[in-house]
């Protein structure tokens, strides 16, 4: 019996006609150069450092011409909303570093020597193209398969080079198959969540969220990733989760809320967010302050209301609903916007607040305080202590891990020293779109 091999193809072909991984041949710029439209990368702003130019007010045709006129340009990103044209010298798989940009459309130069749309990766030293196939076959059939594509079956004796090629081609394959899997979900009206296996490329479509009460989730399965292509962020009824602060993980809630580089819901990138971060139950492990792209594109989504929820072991211990017509990502957190709350006195006209602010004061953030004078008299509904402070009140020093989310579990405000505050394990910010 002949041994089985996974094919590693060394290609010297000039063929560029096939389509794979969502590539669509768009148009000719001139007789020498064509570009492929990468539809699976819609609305992504490439943050790879190989950006070489930013040009305003271009059309697809003129942006492509600008790329063609630049010897270093291999890709361009054109924004169909404002015509912004971005030129890149990057090649796959470096393109996977990305953020959200509404209206962005990505095009890649059709190579004369390396058919990227067929799944090949280009290497410069020495100049060669490689494609990794997971199909197992014998040596003779593998050699024939390579020859059909105009290439050769390769045996690499340089271990370092072999590892470099394997990593690059595997990353490219995973990126493409994840994008294709999410594309299947977007085309299926019943699909809510996809489950993708990065080892076998198995794509499963599901009609209910992983957060559904009837869902069963297995932990410690690193090869599987759970993605929500239709929305990208968990939904709880009519509310979409845009930020989730986890207590005690020593990551500042305020700093991560304002961190524009964090987008944990970007589904086209394999992003292994722990299941706990997608729930409101703090007893399920979460390793980050979960943050979605909605915070960077707040105005685009048309947020009408914001729900601030405080939870302990999955149970609600406090909440406030804010009206958000015309508000910003920070201005919604104001007393004048409050329209409902589990704290009855917060709704009473006679109740006063002397500190109601996301920025808060010192190490205290997301503060809703009625009295803010001395340690003994401090009284309120919510305060998030984000880090240790050398000079603080005794009631702040009940923990050594941060953030420390103190909440009034009563229907009124509570004195932080002599009252009955409760330490929440989750603070969630959700929006109604």
In this predicted structure, what is the pLDDT of residue 258? 95
Domain spans of the chain, in order of start: 23-109, 235-433
Q: Tell me: the pLDDT tens digits for 140-152?
A: 887 887 777 777 7
> Which of the residue ranges 155-164, 206-215, 378-387 would you say has the lowest mean pLDDT?
206-215
264 pLDDT more than 70: yes
CA distance 154 to 151: 9
Can you give the pTM of this predicted structure?
0.55
In this predicted structure, what is the pLDDT of residue 241? 94
> Which of the residue ranges 243-247, 332-336, 396-400 would you say has the lowest mean pLDDT?
396-400
Burial class (CB in 10 A: 0-12, 13-18, 19+), 156: middle
Query: What average pLDDT is seen over the chain?
Result: 77
Which positions ≥6 away from 71 have C-beta within 8 Å?
Answer: none
In this predicted structure, what is the pLDDT of residue 272? 66
Q: Tell me: the pLDDT tens digits for 12-70?
A: 332 222 222 222 233 333 445 667 676 656 666 666 656 788 887 788 888 888 888 88
108 pLDDT more than 50: yes
* Residue at token pair 């499963």: 204
Which positions ≥6 away from 155 have C-beta within 8 Å?
Answer: none
**Contact yes or no for 195/226 (Cβ under 8 A):** yes
User: Can you name the CATH fold of 23-109?
Assistant: Hepatocyte Growth Factor (3.50.4)
Tell me what percent of the residues of the chain surpass a pLDDT of 70: 68
355 pLDDT more than 60: yes
Q: What is the dihedral of CA 231, 236, 239, 241, to 10 degrees?
A: -60
């Amino acid at each position: 019996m002949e041994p089985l091999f996974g094919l590693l193809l060394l290609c010297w072909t000039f063929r560029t006609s096939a389509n794979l991984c969502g590539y669509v041949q768009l148009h000719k710029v001139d007789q020498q150069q064509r570009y492929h439209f990468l539809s699976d990368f819609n609305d992504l702003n490439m943050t790879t450092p190989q950006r070489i130019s930013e040009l305003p007010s271009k059309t697809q045709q003129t942006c492509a011409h600008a790329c063609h006129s630049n010897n270093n340009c291999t890709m361009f990103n054109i924004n169909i909303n404002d015509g912004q044209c971005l030129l890149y010298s990057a090649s796959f798989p470096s393109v996977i570093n990305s953020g959200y940009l509404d209206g962005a459309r990505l095009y890649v130069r059709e190579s004369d020597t390396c058919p990227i749309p067929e799944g090949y990766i280009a290497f410069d030293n020495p100049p060669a193209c490689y494609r990794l196939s997971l199909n197992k076959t014998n040596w003779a059939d593998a050699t024939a398969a390579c020859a059909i594509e105009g290439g050769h079956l390769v045996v690499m004796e340089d271990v370092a080079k072999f590892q470099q090629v394997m990593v690059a081609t595997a990353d490219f394959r995973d990126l493409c198959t994840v994008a294709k899997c999410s594309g299947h979900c977007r085309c299926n009206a019943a699909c809510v969540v996809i489950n993708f296996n990065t080892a076998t490329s198995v794509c499963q479509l599901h009609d209910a969220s992983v957060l559904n009460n009837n869902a069963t989730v297995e932990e410690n399965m690193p090869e599987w990733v759970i993605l929500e292509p239709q929305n990208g962020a968990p939904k709880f009824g009519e509310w979409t989760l845009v930020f989730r602060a986890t207590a005690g993980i020593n990551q500042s809630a305020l700093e991560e809320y304002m961190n524009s580089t964090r987008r944990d819901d970007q589904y086209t990138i394999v992003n292994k967010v722990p299941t706990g971060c997608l729930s409101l139950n703090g007893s399920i492990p979460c390793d980050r302050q979960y943050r979605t792209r909605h915070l960077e594109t707040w105005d685009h989504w048309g947020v009408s209301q914001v729900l601030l929820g405080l939870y302990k072991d999955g149970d609600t211990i406090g909440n406030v609903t804010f009206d958000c017509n015309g508000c910003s990502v920070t201005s919604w957190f104001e007393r004048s916007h409050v329209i409902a709350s589990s704290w009855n006195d917060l709704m009473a006209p006679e109740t006063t607040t002397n500190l109601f602010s996301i920025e808060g004061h010192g190490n205290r953030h997301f503060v809703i305080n009625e009295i803010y004078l001395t340690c003994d008299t401090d009284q309120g509904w919510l305060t998030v202590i984000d880090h240790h402070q050398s000079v603080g009140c005794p009631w702040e020093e009940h923990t050594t891990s941060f953030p420390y989310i103190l909440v009034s579990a009563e229907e009124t405000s509570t004195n932080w020293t002599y009252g009955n505050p409760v330490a929440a394990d989750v603070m969630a910010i959700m929006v109604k779109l």
